[in-house]
Structure 1
Amino acid sequence: MLNNLEKLRKERGVTLVDMADLLHVRYQTVSDKISGISDFKFQEAVLIQQNFFPEFDLVYLFSKDSEIKQPA
């Protein structure tokens, strides 16, 4: 589970459909990737970061370890 991404997505009101539209995939595909069933491609991760969370680091957003903190 990508806990950091999921937490920020909910806090900011970014829906799975918003992400799916950006990536041109089904919302279920985005849900599967966030939950860890499959992985985001690098370019997908970059698009999400740039469009929805530009102030956050890719490693922080897409870390499977919730212990990683956002760099200062």
Structure 2
Amino acid sequence: MLKNLEKLRKERSVTLVDMADLLHVRYQTISDKISGTSDFKFNEAVLIQKQFFPEFDLIYLFSNENSSEKQPA
């Protein structure tokens, strides 16, 4: 599970549909990727970071580990 991404997504009220619309995929696809069932492609991760979380770096957002430190980009 991408815990940092999921936590920030909920804090900022970014829906799975918002992310799905950005990437032109189904919301279930986003759910599967956040949960770890499948992986984000690099270009998808970059789009999400730039659109919704520009102050955070990719490593922090897409880490499988839960980090208590916020890592601004």
What TM-score comes out, normalization by structure 1 length?
Answer: 0.94
Map 1:30-69; keep pairs closer than 5 Å: 30-67=30-67, 69=69
Aligned-residue CA RMSD (Å) = 1.3
1:12, 1:53 → 2: CA distance?
A: 9
What TM-score comes out, normalization by structure 2 length?
Answer: 0.93
Q: 1:18 to 1:38 in 2, by over 3 A?
A: same
Local SS of the residue matching 2:44: helix
Q: Which amino acid aligns with 1:39?
A: D
Aligned to 2:10: 10
2:48, 2:28 → 1: CA distance?
A: 16
Q: 1:42 to 1:68 in 2, by over 3 A?
A: farther
User: CA-to-partner distance for each residue in 1:13-72, whole Å, 9 max, x for gaps?
Assistant: 000000000000000000000000000000000000000000001000000011373336
Structure 2 segments unaligned to the other structure (5+ residues): none
Conserved in 2, the CA contact under 8 Å of 1:60 and 1:68?
A: no
| Count of residues in Structure 1 that have an aligned counterpart in Structure 2 | 72
4+ runs deviating over 6 angstroms: none
Structure 1 segments unaligned to the other structure (5+ residues): none
Over the matched positions of the two proteins, sequence identity in percent amounts to 76
